[in-house]
A and B are shown apart, each in its own frame.
Chain A
Amino acid sequence: MGETFLSIENVTKSFAQTTVVRNVDIAIDKGEFVSFLGPSGCGKTTTLRMVAGFENPTAGRIVIDGKDVTDLKPNQRNIGMVFQSYALFPNMTVAQNIAFGLKVAGASSADIAARVKEMLGIIKLPDHGGRYPFQLSGGQQQRVALARALAVKPSVLLLDEPLSALDAKIRISLRAEIRAIQRELGITTIYVTHDQEEALSMSDRIVVMNEGRVEQIGTPVEIYNQPRTRFVASFVGTLTILAAKAVDAAKGTMSLDGQKIRAGKPFPASASKNISVALRPEAIALGKGDDNANRLTVKVVNVNFLGSIVRVKVRSGAQDISLDMFNQSTTAPPKVGEQVTVNFNPDDLVVLDGQPQA
């Protein structure tokens, strides 16, 4: 971990009787790319807007580079922001848009011209300075918005779902471009998205939010492979959540519909024996596996051909489990109604926090 550059300390935000952000506490390192991931209404955009200064926290504080900015206006924070709707000034050319912040700051004409040229080069639109926003595609407009935000050399860059208005192909290419520019400039960045693929592919760390709270903070690998709560498990990736009964928490053993399995490590012993466990479809395979593997005898209830993979749904007791197998000509998928054995590594079995839901 590097040094903390931006900290959101126990921030709460309420509108009248409704609390939309609750005790959010996040420390972000210098140059780190952190994504706020969650469904609509989870508080991620409100948190971002509090960092920008468009909303005032009801409680808590925001510190950037050791300075408390909680009560500063947006134009006093030296923050760059890219909006979902681009928000380019329609009456200005691309170059004028990029130059806007520099002009406001009172930079000299020569400095402005040099910086605009540099930014146009960075976003790979060197010949587009004289065009108006309406003459650009959505992807180009968003690159200009990024250049405009970065032109003033902000200490923090905020991106509020910047790719959600673009089509899938451009989204993927822009993702890589944004990340490359961010790495090149080493700027501390917060990226708000509801798209898990975006967050997983771009971020150093992901903050998963739900109902105004932080559910989990971790690297993409941690968030995907070790979801800590039922919400994170269900929101990020495809995942089967199963109800099991704890047998020996210290040994990590449990019973799933009468079949004994174990987790890779001990789990916290709770008052209730009922626990929730999660399994990724790609972690389960047909067959008995090696000696260390957990095994379940299940019945095939559905086989779904998805091109490169075949998703098989099997049933253990009353619970359905999804498993993915590669579409290989040498291995035929099982037939519906067939009784099969599936196996998975104990380390892939994630015991979730909290009580299982009904």
Chain B
Amino acid sequence: MRGKAWAWITFALGCTYFFVPLIGTIEFSMRMKRGEYSFEAYRVVFGDERFQATFGYSILIAALTIAVGILIVVPTAYWIRLRLPNLRPVVEFITLLPLIIPAIVIVFGYLRMYNSSSWIPFTATRRGTDILLMFGYVTLALPYMYRAVDTGLRTIDVQTLTEAAQILGAKWPTIIARVILPNVLIAVLSGAFLTFAIVIGEFTMASLLDRPAFGPYLQNIGANRAYEPAALAIIAFFITWGCMAVIQVLSRYAPKSASRPN
């Protein structure tokens, strides 16, 4: 009984720690009009052309990052599980590097390697810089994307399913598209939404590469306005929560197995 009370007290403290700042920010974001609560700050934010432009830009870059990330990570993780299991520790270490190396170091490395006077002058054009930013985000999202896909692959018997498909006459594209991918789709989508959440608020890379992304816009508004940053923080918060909710909903549709019937 006593233990239960402590559990509830701890839970209440946790909720307070989490929800009080959130409620405070929401409350503050609604006080733009004097003497009354309103969604004025949200109206201003959504009406701002720069918001629309930067948010749209970041969504596009996030979509490209997810597509390129899936194309790189899924076959790699599959092949390592199937044929090169000895390389797993090496690949896991490489995918963890973006967590250890600060984004600012990565972006300065890119600027040295791919500046306008280099062999591959990505930064010579805006489109080139967009591509460089996208690859930068693929790198940043690698730890999350690889782990999500690898965890998905762990839940199925990759080797036996591959062999079962092979013996029935299937070739590699059929095996990946019709047997492997549908069974790790939820994991891939989890990785995709984590990637989206990272890209949508990223500041360092976009700022140093001087791209019109949502992160630098958030920072700029935060430095110059009072109520709009609070509204933006709440918007960004709900976007992230929305992504998490979508992952949860999709996971209900994951392929079932005898060991995981629900």
Contact = CB atoms under 8 A, between A and B. Distances in A.
Interface of A: 52-54, 73-75, 77, 79-81, 83, 85, 87-91, 100-101, 104-105, 132-134, 136, 138, 141, 148-149, 152
A91 B182 contact: yes
Contact of A90 (B165, B166, B255): B255
Given A90-B183, A91-B183, A74 B163 contact: yes
B168 A134 contact: no
A104 B178 CA distance: 11
Contacts of B126: none
30 contacts: A52-B163, A52-B167, A54-B163, A54-B166, A73-B166, A74-B163, A75-B167, A75-B168, A79-B167, A83-B160, A83-B163, A85-B160, A87-B161, A89-B161, A89-B164, A90-B156, A90-B183, A90-B255, A91-B183, A100-B178, A101-B168, A104-B170, A133-B257, A134-B257, A134-B258, A134-B260, A149-B167, A149-B168, A152-B168, A152-B169
B27 interface: no
Contacts of B182: 91
Contacts of B256: 90, 132, 134
A71 B150 CA distance: 32
A100 B258 contact: no
Given A104-B174, A133-B257, A141-B258, A75 B157 contact: no
A100 B178 CA distance: 10
B164 A83 contact: yes
Interface residues of B, number: 24
B47 interface: no
A133 B157 contact: no
A75 B171 contact: yes
Interface of B: 156-157, 160-161, 163-171, 174, 178-179, 182-183, 255-258, 260-261
Contacts of A85: 157, 160
A104 B168 contact: yes
A105 B171 CA distance: 11
Contacts of B167: 52-53, 74-75, 77, 79-81, 149
B164 A81 contact: yes
A85 B156 CA distance: 11
A104 B174 CA distance: 8
A52 B160 CA distance: 13
Residue of A75, A101, A148, A152 with most partner-chain B CB within 10 A: A75
A105 B156 CA distance: 25
A54 B163 CA distance: 8
Given A53-B167, A89-B161, A91-B179, 5 more contacts: A75-B170, A90-B156, A133-B258, A134-B257, A134-B258
A101 B171 CA distance: 11
Contacts of A87: 157, 160-161, 163-164
A73 B178 CA distance: 20
A74 B161 contact: no
Residue of B163, B169, B174, B258 with most partner-chain A CB within 10 A: B169
A87 B183 CA distance: 13
A25 to B, nearest CB: 24
B262 to A, nearest CB: 10
Residue of A89, A104, A133, A141 with most partner-chain B CB within 10 A: A89
B157 to A, nearest CB: 6
A219 B260 CA distance: 43
Contacts of A81: 163-164, 167
Contacts of A138: 258
B179 A89 contact: yes
A134 B258 CA distance: 4
Contacts of B165: 89, 100
The 7 A-B pairs of least Cβ separation, nearest first, read: A101-B168, A87-B164, A134-B256, A90-B255, A91-B182, A91-B255, A87-B160
Given A101-B168, A105-B169, A152-B169, A90 B257 contact: yes
Nearest to A52: B167
A342 B73 CA distance: 72
Contacts of A100: 165, 168, 170, 178
Nearest to B256: A134
B241 to A, nearest CB: 29
A105 B164 CA distance: 15
A83 B166 CA distance: 13
Nearest to A132: B256
A52 B166 CA distance: 10
Contact of A101 (B161, B169, B261): B169
Nearest to B170: A104
B86 to A, nearest CB: 13
Nearest to B171: A75
A286 to B, nearest CB: 51
A73 B165 CA distance: 12
A83 B156 CA distance: 15
A136 B167 CA distance: 23
B36 to A, nearest CB: 54
A77 B156 CA distance: 26
Nearest to A105: B169
A330 B255 CA distance: 62
Contacts of A89: 161, 164-165, 179, 183
B169 A104 contact: yes
A148 B163 CA distance: 13
B175 to A, nearest CB: 9
A295 B260 CA distance: 61
B96 to A, nearest CB: 30
Contacts of B178: 100
A88 B257 CA distance: 10
Contacts of A133: 257-258
A235 to B, nearest CB: 27
